[in-house]
């Protein structure tokens, strides 16, 4: 059993700390946000992640998981200190390191014995050395030693517990063989593959992995746009590509682009790192531009289907950037919904989890409803932005009956064209031929 302090109770810190507790360690999750800590002590989880609340309750009851706002005390009580604070994107695109620097200073001030300091946050290459230097400069006891490790996270929101408990690899970067072995042993109960390397390579692996996955997404979206113009079906193209073992089928689902807390931030950060190193990462910059443009396709398709959007009633189904999370960071809805309002449309929105978070981020004119049926009633068109189960499984017979005009623009390709045709719905998806109603006057040409 290891005594571990996890500094930062955001998505990464809270999930990682809880999972480390689940495999038998004593975890103190700490944060300077006293209100958040009080919520956690009362059993209120500030983020939505399936299974997390139950796992927290289990480990709190077993006294393996504690919460405190006294960060210094948590550091002093721990053998291993995980840094899991946010590194938000700055105006220049680089990662904002102020929280990481503040934590490193705090660790130095409370370093009362040998500790392993682990960077879990996604940080630029060179941060391990930066953290080491800050801790070194703020030590009260110069004789006390410490080691720094990079152990980047690869959690997917919506399946983070499973990803952590069944992780496919643990990347461990350090200049100390002793520290690397301790962190490797810490991960042994997960039954995962261990890859040990130097600090800088571990930091780069995180950015490189996310940038590559973002590239796959932008690539298949670009292919989808070509498919629409030449009459091919991107779902068939993706399936055929995915059969190639060198490519694989993951992250080849065409849609309206990536969002969330990782891909947008990490691609911009890596592009900035490249610029700072003197390399023009043109490929990655094209990935970012492609993604930014992709979400606007929904508006183009609506325009083709309805003509002018002013005065039209539009249902927006799904607001979070992906299902099974309430995370609104860089969600396509943040671009699309304000533009619909600007164009004069009356927007009615539904999201089973993220509606509360969305209210403070979207125009006041947006109306929010508690079900798909309420949202689409008497609407001129419906736009699907998030493939929640409630949305992908909605009753299409009701859709056809409740809507003023049965027009669906699907940014996530939730339905087959044949199914929508059978239900008499004008259906416009990504990278596939649109299905129109005979005699409706709706456009059915490729766009």
Spatial distance between the Cα atoms of 60 and 54, rounded to a whole number of angstroms: 10
> CA nearest 149: which of 105, 119, 186?
119
3-state DSSP call for residue 404?
A: coil
Binding site: what residues are annotated? 31, 36, 87, 122, 154-157, 206, 251-255, 259, 265, 322, 329
Residue 101: is it exposed, middle or buried by C-beta count within 10 angstroms (0-12/13-18/19+)? middle
Place of tokens 């800050």: 134
> CA nearest 305: which of 295, 314, 294, 316?
314
Handedness of CA 241, 245, 250, 256 (dihedral sign): negative
Q: Which CATH class is domain 3-197?
A: alpha beta
In this prediction, residue 437 carries a pLDDT of 52
Tokens coding 243: 């059969």
Pairing of strands 169-174, 146-150: antiparallel
Active-site residues, by number, are 262
Spatial distance between the Cα atoms of 414 and 256, rounded to a whole number of angstroms: 12
Q: Enumerate the H helices of 363-423 as residue ranges.
A: 372-376, 389-392, 396-402, 417-422
Angle at 193 between CA 191 and CA 197, to 5 degrees: 140
Residue 148: is it exposed, middle or buried by C-beta count within 10 angstroms (0-12/13-18/19+)? buried
Beta strands in 12-158 (DSSP E): 26-30, 65-68, 80-83, 115-119, 146-150
Question: 3-197 with 206-293: one CATH topology?
Answer: no
Q: 344, 306 in Cβ contact below 8 A?
A: no
CA dihedral (325, 326, 329, 333) in degrees, to 10, reads 100
Q: 376, 382 in Cβ contact below 8 A?
A: yes
Spatial distance between the Cα atoms of 185 and 416, rounded to a whole number of angstroms: 47
CATH for 206-293, among 1.10.10.10, 3.30.450.30, 1.10.1040.10, 1.25.40.10? 1.10.1040.10
Our separate counts of H helices and E strands in the chain read: 19, 14
Phi-psi domain of 425 (left: phi exceeds 0; alpha: psi -120 through 50; beta: other): beta
Q: 215, 283 in Cβ contact below 8 A?
A: yes
Tokens coding 246: 């060198």
Handedness of CA 422, 423, 424, 426 (dihedral sign): negative
In this prediction, residue 4 carries a pLDDT of 98
Place of tokens 């689902």: 253
Residue 63 neighbours by CB under 8 Å, 6+ apart: none
Average pLDDT for runs of 10 along the chain of length 447: 96 96 98 96 94 97 97 98 92 89 97 97 93 96 95 92 94 97 97 97 96 98 97 97 97 95 93 96 98 95 94 98 94 97 98 96 98 97 97 96 96 96 96 72 38
Binding site for substrate: what residues are annotated? 154-157, 206, 251-255, 259, 322
Distances (CA, A) of 362 to 177, 314, 338, 359: 49, 15, 7, 6
Residue 211: is it exposed, middle or buried by C-beta count within 10 angstroms (0-12/13-18/19+)? buried
Beta strands in 42-151 (DSSP E): 65-68, 80-83, 115-119, 146-150
Distances (CA, A) of 50 to 47, 53, 258, 322: 10, 8, 21, 13
In this prediction, residue 446 carries a pLDDT of 38
In this prediction, residue 440 carries a pLDDT of 40
Domain positions in the chain are: 3-197, 206-293, 295-428
CATH architecture of 295-428: 3-Layer(aba) Sandwich (3.40)
Beta bridge partners of 435: 427
């Amino acid at each position: 059993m290891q005594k571990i302090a996890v500094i930062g109770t955001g998505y990464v810190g809270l999930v990682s700390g809880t999972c480390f507790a689940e495999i038998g360690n004593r975890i103190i999750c700490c944060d300077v946000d006293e209100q958040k800590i009080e919520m956690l002590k009362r059993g209120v989880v500030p983020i939505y992640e399936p299974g997390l609340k139950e796992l927290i309750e289990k480990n709190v009851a077993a006294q393996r998981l504690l919460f405190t706002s006294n960060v210094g005390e948590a550091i002093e009580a721990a053998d291993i200190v995980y840094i899991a604070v946010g590194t938000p994107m700055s105006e220049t695109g680089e990662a904002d390191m102020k929280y990481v620097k503040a934590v490193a200073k705090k660790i130095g001030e409370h370093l009362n014995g040998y500790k392993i300091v682990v960077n879990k946050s996604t940080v630029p290459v060179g941060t391990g050395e930066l953290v080491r230097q800050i801790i070194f400069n703020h030590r009260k006891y110069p004789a006390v030693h410490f080691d720094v490790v990079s152990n980047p996270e690869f959690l997917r929101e919506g399946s983070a517990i499973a990803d952590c408990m069944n992780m496919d690899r643990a990347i461990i970067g350090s200049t100390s063989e002793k520290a690397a072995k301790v962190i490797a042993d810490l991960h042994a109960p997960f039954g995962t593959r261990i890859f040990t390397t130097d600090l800088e390579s571990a930091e780069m692996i995180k950015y490189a992995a996310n940038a590559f996955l973002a590239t796959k997404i932008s690539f298949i979206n670009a292919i989808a746009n070509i498919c629409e113009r030449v009459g091919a079906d991107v779902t068939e193209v993706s399936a055929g590509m995915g059969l190639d073992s060198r490519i694989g089928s993951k992250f080849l689902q065409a849609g309206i682009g990536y969002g969330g807390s990782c891909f947008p931030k990490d691609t911009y950060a890596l592009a900035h790192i490249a610029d700072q190193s003197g390399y023009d990462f043109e490929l990655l910059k094209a990935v970012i531009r492609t993604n930014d443009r992709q979400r606007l396709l929904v508006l183009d398709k609506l325009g083709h289907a309805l003509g002018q959007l002013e005065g039209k009633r539009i249902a927006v189904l799904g607001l979070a950037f992906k299902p099974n999370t309430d995370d609104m960071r860089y969600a396509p809805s943040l671009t699309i919904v304000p533009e619909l309002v600007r164009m004069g449309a009356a927007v009615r929105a539904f999201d089973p989890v993220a509606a509360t978070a969305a209210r403070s981020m979207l125009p006041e004119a947006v109306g929010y409803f508690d079900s798909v049926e309420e949202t689409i009633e008497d609407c001129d068109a419906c736009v699907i932005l998030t493939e929640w189960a409630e949305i992908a499984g909605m009753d299409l017979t009701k859709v056809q009956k409740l809507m003023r005009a049965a027009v669906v623009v699907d940014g996530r390709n939730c339905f087959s064209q044949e199914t929508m045709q059978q239900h008499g719905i004008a259906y416009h998806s990504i990278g596939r031929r649109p299905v129109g109603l005979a005699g409706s006057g709706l456009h059915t040409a490729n766009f």
